[in-house]
Structure 1
Amino acid sequence: MWSIGELAERAGVTVKTVRFYSDRGLLPEAARSAGGHRRYGPEALDRLRTIRSLRTLDLPVPDVGRVLDREDTLEDVVDGQLRQLGSQLAALRWREAALLLLQDCTPEERAERLLLVGAVPAPPSTAPIARFWRRWLPPRLPAAVVSAVLEQSVPQPPADPTPAQVLAFARLHAFVSRDCGGGEFTQPAAHRPGGGRPAVLYAGLDEAYALAAPELRAGRTPHAGQALDCFVSAYTASTGARDTPDFRRRLAAQLAADPRIDRYWQLKAEVSGPSEPTAGAAHDWLLTALRTETAQAA
């Protein structure tokens, strides 16, 4: 049996370290001397070395205890630490890009950017953007439709953002955090009572936007075709109307008069990058194709 000092010497640690782990139940003593001093057996040395190895990886003391007591496997604890470390690294990368953004600008720009960036946590949360869309969408949409719209519309913060992406996300955060009582946030006609069946509309629009995306990526001028027909069909199916030249003219006029959130889609594209067209860009392309077609027919 070893005294606390002998165990500390064999393990290459201080007596204070041994006492710390003993007091927290990680290093049980084997016995007590006649004078009440702690005594440890050889197994304590192996256990202490394991504790030191786990603590070197910065595992919290409670996690170390669960591993030693076999309440959690080492694999589970390591997985949890990797997730936590990933979040910390994302926050550090975001902070670095934000600092670079504030460094490389004029004093006037710095004051504005500081207010924008300071309102966004690190790592940033997409919850305010999702709340914006839940307010913007028509009420009582099926959960699956809402989920699909959010997936398409809410940009995920880049894992390794540039200063420009940090600024765009901060501006997007400010955009969706404003009052939605009117102006550019007024609901489109399809969102209002009597606007048809929004669930059918959004399912059809999702398909139309997917068909328009290759046209946008290729840089083609808006034109009639399958994507436009699918776009119009989304509105006819949701309202029970027939696809006629007159319906297309009225639809083009209605959509042209609808409130727009172009600024939102512009900022989303700046955050996500140009590789994939936004739903807003697809909508604009299809609306232009519709207006061109109706103008030519007239």
Structure 2
Amino acid sequence: MVTSRDGLCGIGELAERAGVTVKTVRFYSDRGLLPEALRSAGGHRRYGPEALGRLRLIRSLRALGLPLPEVRRVLDEEDGADDVLEEAVAGQLREVGSELRALRWREAALRLVRECPPGERADRLRLVGAVSAPPSTEPLVRFWRGWLPQRMPARAASAFLEVAVPRPPDDPAPEQVLAFARLNALTLAPCPGTARPQPDAHRATGARGAAVLYTGLAEAYELAGGPLRRGADPHAGEALDCFVDAYTGAYGVRDSPDFRRVLARRLAADPRIDRYWELVAEVVTAPGSAPEPTPGAAHDWLLAALEAQTAAGAA
């Protein structure tokens, strides 16, 4: 690298060989990333043979988007440099992924506004403007926190939220952006009355029973997913039995035809959030694909199966 007799080079020569400006070399030097070997009698910076390789490494790390503190960690860590570099690159990949998701959502939102009739644009702008990019599911989580029984065990509540709160697609179609924006608006809308209505099934179980109930319901909804995907009509079977068992386990009672009739009446009278589940299905289903069963669709299918069974028993 060097041409001088002492094996050192000046800042201008180093900058030229590295293909950068003198200002860039001075910047990294002043921040301690590119140490000088010494200063000449006139105060000029002098660099050793290793400076060119170090400067090129700095430029490569910066080109990957690593901030200066991460660059310093990689340069300073001798034995674990590979581990530090891997960690830093992984962090940058996560950040880039988030930026890409945000750009895809912005693109889909812009297409949504551009392609809608002029008379609907103001409403579309209001809806999509209330959603961050990438979108946050926090309003949906807060909605369910208010709906679920108080003092419900954290593990059971988290398991339910995993199912009830849809994960926004990374590369959405405009229709999915619109559905998520409407879902966001639905969960942020003020509740009628003084409090969000709670289903009787929640109030009757208590905190411990709620955990039993929702664990059982999750299993029943999964079992109902198969018939739903096949387009089968509601019917008695394993999924319905699991559905009823969730309630008997939560209430601490035995299954019987009388219990099933009471349960059918109670569930039919409970508050419903059908619009929420309709929008969830639109969010998670790509245009042109068969809709994936949601917990709401599974619940409706199981309730219809229960009502059909109890009606047949009464007849």
The bucket for the TM-score relative to the shorter chain is over 0.9
Alignment check: 8 A CA contact 1:224 1:289 kept: yes
The aligned residue for residue 199 of structure 2 is 188
Deviation at 1:121, TM superposition (A): 0.6
The aligned residue for residue 222 of structure 1 is 234
Residue 212 (structure 1) aligned with residue 224 (structure 2):
yes
Give matches, 1:92-241, under 5 Å.
92-180=103-191, 182=193, 185-192=196-203, 197-241=209-253
Alignment check: 8 A CA contact 1:21 1:27 kept: yes
Residue 287 (structure 1) aligned with residue 303 (structure 2):
yes
Alignment check: 8 A CA contact 2:201 2:267 kept: no
Aligned counterparts of 1:7 and 1:228: Cα–Cα separation in 2: 76
Aligned counterparts of 1:198 and 1:2: Cα–Cα separation in 2: 74
The aligned residue for residue 271 of structure 2 is 259
Deviation at 1:297, TM superposition (A): 2.1
- Of 110-119 and 55-64, more deviation after overlay is shown by 55-64
Tell me the secondary structure at the aligned position of residue 55 of structure 1.
helix
Tell me the secondary structure at the aligned position of residue 42 of structure 1.
coil
Deviation at 1:288, TM superposition (A): 0.6
The aligned residue for residue 19 of structure 2 is 12
Alignment check: 8 A CA contact 1:236 1:242 kept: yes
Structure 1 residues 194 and 59, CA gap change in structure 2 (3 angstroms) = closer
Deviation at 1:58, TM superposition (A): 2.6
TM-score by length of 2: 0.89
Correspondence for 1:80 among 68, 73, 91 = 91
Deviation at 1:241, TM superposition (A): 2.8
Structure 1 residues 182 and 188, CA gap change in structure 2 (3 angstroms) = farther
Provide Cα deviations, 1:258-288, integer angstroms capped at 9, x if missing partner.
Answer: 0000011111111111453111101100111
Deviation at 1:246, TM superposition (A): 2.1
Aligned counterparts of 1:185 and 1:266: Cα–Cα separation in 2: 20
Structure 2 unaligned spans of 5+? 1-7
Provide Cα deviations, 1:2-43, integer angstroms capped at 9, x if missing partner.
Answer: 121121122222111111111111111110111111111111
- Of 43-52 and 179-188, more deviation after overlay is shown by 179-188
- Of 152-161 and 179-188, more deviation after overlay is shown by 179-188
The aligned residue for residue 259 of structure 2 is 247
Alignment check: 8 A CA contact 1:231 1:286 kept: yes
Structure 1 residues 66 and 141, CA gap change in structure 2 (3 angstroms) = same
The aligned residue for residue 293 of structure 2 is 277
Tell me the secondary structure at the aligned position of residue 109 of structure 1.
helix
Deviation at 1:163, TM superposition (A): 0.5
Alignment check: 8 A CA contact 1:185 1:259 kept: no
Structure 1 unaligned spans of 5+? none
The aligned residue for residue 71 of structure 2 is 64
Deviation at 1:44, TM superposition (A): 1.0
In the alignment, residue 278 of structure 1 is paired with which amino acid?
T
In the alignment, residue 223 of structure 2 is paired with which amino acid?
L
Structure 1 vs Structure 2 CA RMSD: 1.9
- Of 143-152 and 72-81, more deviation after overlay is shown by 72-81
Aligned counterparts of 1:34 and 1:81: Cα–Cα separation in 2: 43
Structure 1 residues 201 and 56, CA gap change in structure 2 (3 angstroms) = closer
In the alignment, residue 50 of structure 1 is paired with which amino acid?
L
Deviation at 1:243, TM superposition (A): 2.2
Aligned counterparts of 1:55 and 1:263: Cα–Cα separation in 2: 48
- Of 265-274 and 87-96, more deviation after overlay is shown by 265-274
Residue 55 (structure 1) aligned with residue 62 (structure 2):
yes
Provide Cα deviations, 1:181-206, integer angstroms capped at 9, x if missing partner.
Answer: 54994110022256692222212212
Residue 297 (structure 1) aligned with residue 313 (structure 2):
yes
Aligned counterparts of 1:272 and 1:4: Cα–Cα separation in 2: 57
Deviation at 1:137, TM superposition (A): 0.6
The aligned residue for residue 23 of structure 1 is 30
In the alignment, residue 135 of structure 2 is paired with which amino acid?
P
In the alignment, residue 286 of structure 1 is paired with which amino acid?
L
Deviation at 1:61, TM superposition (A): 2.3
